[in-house]
Amino acid sequence: MLNLPFELEWEACLIRAVFFDVGETLVNETRQWDEWADWLDVPKFCFAAALGAVIQRGGHHREVFTYFDKAFDYEKAKAERKRRGLDYSIRPDDLYEDAVPTLKRLAADGYIVGIAGNQPEETERALAKCGVRAQIIASSMSWGVEKPSVAFFERMISEANVHPSEIVYVGDRLDNDVIPASKAGLHTIFIRRGPWAPIQSQLMDISRADAIIDSLTELHERLATL
């Protein structure tokens, strides 16, 4: 261990930025998945079961569509939904109740607050319309790289302009959030909600995360331990 002056040691350990994933971290995506089930004309319960199967075997979430249509063309369906006014959206009532209060408290406490996830570029505008405020709001589409690539987190570090050890990333997935963020040198907090978290908690080592929470109301307490 390097023998640093006290001031420098403290600076190196100080958390200065907190970044959040989007889906199932800040946004409850139940409505969006239900709308896809309706689009495919399949029962929501069956669609949810298929999504669980995809998660269980570690597949990409878009593979769920092929359970019901082997030749499913996601981009074509997305374009048609948009034409009919059914394109991707985030509504205020899609936000988890603890999301906005947590972001506001972090900002008031002087943290750099960021939001970055594997999302379409529309997410950035949709979050802003819902009253979500952060210094940095980005998507994999606008950055041109998606998780779990370490390059995604390197871009995050660059945008925050702080040392990796001064950043915490909060996410609901071990494979896409916790593990790659840790590899990039960030602290990680695993939030156990949404469909991925309970399944991955059984399949993977949750101790890979620096802290584990079940609600964002626990976040400030956990930040103090990092």
What one-character-per-residue DSSP string does 123-164 give?
HHHHHHHTT---SEEEEHHHHT--TT-HHHHHHHHHHHTS-G
Average pLDDT over residues 120-131: 90
Q: Which domains does the chain have, with CATH numbers?
A: 6-27+93-223 (3.40.50.1000), 30-83 (no CATH)
Q: Which pLDDT band, with edges at 50, 70 and 90, does 140 fall under?
A: very high
Tokens of 142: 């606008």
Q: Which of 44-58, 121-135, 175-189, 191-205 has the lowest mean pLDDT?
A: 121-135
Tokens of 17: 């930025």
What gap in Å lies between CA 137 and CA 147, rounded to an integer? Answer: 15
Three-class SS state of 196: helix
Average pLDDT over residues 5-33: 80
pLDDT of residue 19 exceeding 70, the answer is yes
Query: What's the pLDDT at 6?
Result: 34
Amino acid at 30: T
